[in-house]
Chains A and B, each alone.
Chain A
């Protein structure tokens, strides 16, 4: 293994860069799960966001408008899923798996019909890297932490805001109440369905940004079928490993970003493994984490249980 300062800096920069989509998506999933909805459809929401962002970029030529289109696509898809899960009480795992297949087929259909394969993307640099003056030149860690996408900085700020809101504010209390015991929250006059609906749409917004990041920042404005490649499922796992706490989720995302980065930087640090095994690594890590950490009691009490007034 080669492990000098330069390759380490590159690996770190790549790890932080790739942790962003997982971080953004898992923060959305966190809000859902704290509200009692196990949103397995996250993978599909990200996929719609990724597709919407490229579509917006091709239509307008503006990276920022592309991101906004991705957010709109994620939120729009989330409204459909929330009607099924939050309003109609469809089982979130079954509906979510169906929704993910719908997203795979729908975005692939959209790519063939609506996207131009010969489109040359405008410069996405403004979206991809925002160099913080002064700090950016710091050796080794400068590029990794101070030369990243504004979307990533936004994600970290959001994690801190979510920590404060969930823990110390009335809306956070309402959200937690709905997730821990929907019947009790209902008896206290909290509109359970509306809270869960809003949580899922918020999750869709963030999944949309995460998807837009994947296509616009991480792959140069190109949409390929199944571009998320399981990162939505990883984000669901990250929420569990982060014990449903925003700041732990930041750390867990970084760890998974690191695992993801090995597919690009693995050769550089002399990790002479074939590419598919490096691609497998984040999923293997998630499995190993289960074996090491085991079951947690931190899960919201009503996670995955549809709310029915009068049911036990």
Chain B
């Protein structure tokens, strides 16, 4: 198959990946629930192994994630950037492009979010906020466009290219906060604080809940409407699910890949802006703990559906706020959050593969 692929086909992921995406997109809620149940069980077992009472630990986590308005606010604040990177992964995967570069696009978005505050006068006031978000979307989108162009132009494997570009972006941010964006006289690896006008306003006084959460939810609604209620969304899905048919219908494949990656990068970029303008208020080296990869897992666990992604992103936000509570109450290292976040996607990949092995795939593009 691979050697027969034409230059036009080079815009798409390999048949195996495509089939996998299609399977996961249609995986029944039961498989996803089983994946979560397996990973929660494993995490509790791990806690028992660390000498903590699993029931007590679970209670602490639930209280830390959902126990009070402040806890819920924390969960939502952790959710927002992850939901945006999930939407980013979803838009690209739906078009058949395996974008593993959400992390890099998020980093570039964070840079974009800080640029207007750096170069424009603070007197612009609240005008700075929309400018910052736009500039984040633009930089993230352009960063996302690069692997798409390389794929169409040189047949470059998007998996490798996007992974490499993640590291380039991370070191670019490191360079910027140690050099050009570091305030004079400072020794810290961070930029100057953005002026009040560029900050995402807090919407629940006394908590960390900021307007970025609303922005992320609005983005989810918009992606939902775009995918299911516009001609563009239908073309995008066709290009991803049935590229052969899509070409036969003379859909503009190249334009679809380019535009979906531009959109994907822009969404991840806004995710970076939400973290910078809503939580940190400055660009900090290492501000993201794999938010981009979390997004990929969320998108797949959410069945590549915007509303499903909202639910799963909420779970991921709860893991982050819950493990923070666990760290302060029972001194469990916060790295547990990464372990817990990684388990459901591994479990889902196994469950899907096993269903394929047993000859009962719900749907397969190779049939």
Contacts from A to B (Cβ < 8 Å): 38, 40, 84-85, 88-91, 93-95, 97-102, 104-106, 108-109, 112-113, 225, 229-230, 233-234, 236-237, 240, 274-277, 279-280, 283-284, 286-287, 290-291, 294-295, 297, 299, 301, 303-306, 308, 310-312
Inter-chain contact B346/A276, CB cutoff 8 Å: no
Inter-chain contact A276/B172, CB cutoff 8 Å: yes
Identify which of residues 72-86 in chain B touch chain A, using a CB-to-CB cut-off of 8 Å: none
With contacts A98-B345, A274-B175, A284-B168 taken as known, whether A89 is within 8 angstroms of B357 at the C-beta atoms is: yes
Which residues of the partner chain B approach A236 to less than 8 Å between Cβ atoms? Answer: 160, 163
With contacts A98-B297, A240-B157, A283-B164 taken as known, whether A89 is within 8 angstroms of B354 at the C-beta atoms is: yes
Inter-chain contact B10/A295, CB cutoff 8 Å: yes
Inter-chain contact B150/A102, CB cutoff 8 Å: no
Q: Which of B50, B159, B346 contacts A102 (CB 8 A)?
A: B346
A19 CA / B353 CA spacing, docked (Å): 35
Which residues of the partner chain B approach A93 to less than 8 Å between Cβ atoms? Answer: 17, 98, 100, 159
Q: How large is the interface on B (under 10, 10 to 19, 20 to 34, 35 or more residues)?
A: 35 or more
Which of B15, B155, B335 gathers most chain A CB within 10 Å?
Answer: B335
Cβ of B67 under 8 Å from chain A: no
A1 CA / B297 CA spacing, docked (Å): 46
Inter-chain contact A297/B352, CB cutoff 8 Å: no
With contacts A90-B353, A112-B333 taken as known, whether A304 is within 8 angstroms of B175 at the C-beta atoms is: no
Q: A284-B168, A308-B357 are in contact. List 5 more A-B contacts (CB 8 A).
A: A40-B159, A89-B354, A94-B345, A99-B342, A294-B156
Cβ of B122 under 8 Å from chain A: no
A248–chain B nearest beta-carbon distance, Å = 16
Identify which of residues 231-283 in chain B touch chain A, using a CB-to-CB cut-off of 8 Å: none
Inter-chain contact A95/B350, CB cutoff 8 Å: yes
Which residues of the partner chain B approach A230 to less than 8 Å between Cβ atoms? Answer: 167
Q: List 9 A-B contacts (CB under 8 A).
A: A84-B353, A88-B350, A90-B349, A90-B353, A94-B20, A99-B346, A108-B338, A109-B335, A233-B160
Secondary structure at the A interface, as helix, strand, loop or mixed, is helix
A140 CA / B327 CA spacing, docked (Å): 52
Which residues of the partner chain B approach A90 to less than 8 Å between Cβ atoms? Answer: 346, 349-350, 352-353
Inter-chain contact B154/A89, CB cutoff 8 Å: no
Q: Which of B2, B50, B179, B290 contacts A104 (CB 8 A)?
A: B290
Inter-chain contact B3/A301, CB cutoff 8 Å: yes
Which residues of the partner chain B approach A85 to less than 8 Å between Cβ atoms? Answer: 353
Inter-chain contact B338/A280, CB cutoff 8 Å: no
Which residues of the partner chain A approach B342 to less than 8 Å between Cβ atoms? Answer: 98-102, 105
Cβ of B44 under 8 Å from chain A: no
Q: Which of B100, B150, B335, B353 contacts A88 (CB 8 A)?
A: B353
Which residues of the partner chain B approach A297 to less than 8 Å between Cβ atoms? Answer: 3
Inter-chain contact B150/A97, CB cutoff 8 Å: no
Closest to A294 in B: B154
Which residues of the partner chain A approach B345 to less than 8 Å between Cβ atoms? Answer: 94-95, 97-98
Q: Which of A113, A277, A284, A308 contacts B175 (CB 8 A)?
A: A277
Which residues of the partner chain A approach B335 to less than 8 Å between Cβ atoms? Answer: 104-106, 108-109, 112, 225
Inter-chain contact B156/A290, CB cutoff 8 Å: yes
Inter-chain contact A101/B160, CB cutoff 8 Å: no
Q: Which of B3, B336, B346, B353 contacts A109 (CB 8 A)?
A: B336
Cβ of B118 under 8 Å from chain A: no
B205–chain A nearest beta-carbon distance, Å = 34
Closest to A291 in B: B154
Which residues of the partner chain B approach A100 to less than 8 Å between Cβ atoms? Answer: 293, 342
Inter-chain contact A283/B171, CB cutoff 8 Å: yes
Inter-chain contact B349/A310, CB cutoff 8 Å: no
A299 CA / B156 CA spacing, docked (Å): 13
A275 CA / B20 CA spacing, docked (Å): 40
A94 CA / B50 CA spacing, docked (Å): 28
Which residues of the partner chain B approach A295 to less than 8 Å between Cβ atoms? Answer: 10, 154-157
Interface string of B100-115 (1 = CB under 8 A from A): 1000000000000000
Which residues of the partner chain B approach A303 to less than 8 Å between Cβ atoms? Answer: 2, 14
A308 CA / B19 CA spacing, docked (Å): 13
Inter-chain contact B178/A276, CB cutoff 8 Å: yes
Closest to B180 in A: A274
Closest 4 CB pairs of A and B: A105-B338, A295-B155, A89-B353, A108-B335
Inter-chain contact A306/B350, CB cutoff 8 Å: no
A304–chain B nearest beta-carbon distance, Å = 5
Inter-chain contact B50/A113, CB cutoff 8 Å: yes
Q: Which of B150, B167, B338 contacts A233 (CB 8 A)?
A: B167
A311 CA / B20 CA spacing, docked (Å): 14
Interface string of B317-357 (1 = CB under 8 A from A): 00000000000000001011111111101101110111011
A275 CA / B171 CA spacing, docked (Å): 9
Which of A106, A236, A287 gathers most chain B CB within 10 Å?
Answer: A287
With contacts A88-B353, A89-B357, A233-B163 taken as known, whether A104 is within 8 angstroms of B338 at the C-beta atoms is: yes
Q: Which of A99, A101, A225, A275 contacts B341 (CB 8 A)?
A: A101
A274 CA / B175 CA spacing, docked (Å): 7
Inter-chain contact B290/A290, CB cutoff 8 Å: no
A10–chain B nearest beta-carbon distance, Å = 23
Cβ of B142 under 8 Å from chain A: no
Which residues of the partner chain B approach A283 to less than 8 Å between Cβ atoms? Answer: 164-165, 167-168, 171
A312 CA / B1 CA spacing, docked (Å): 11
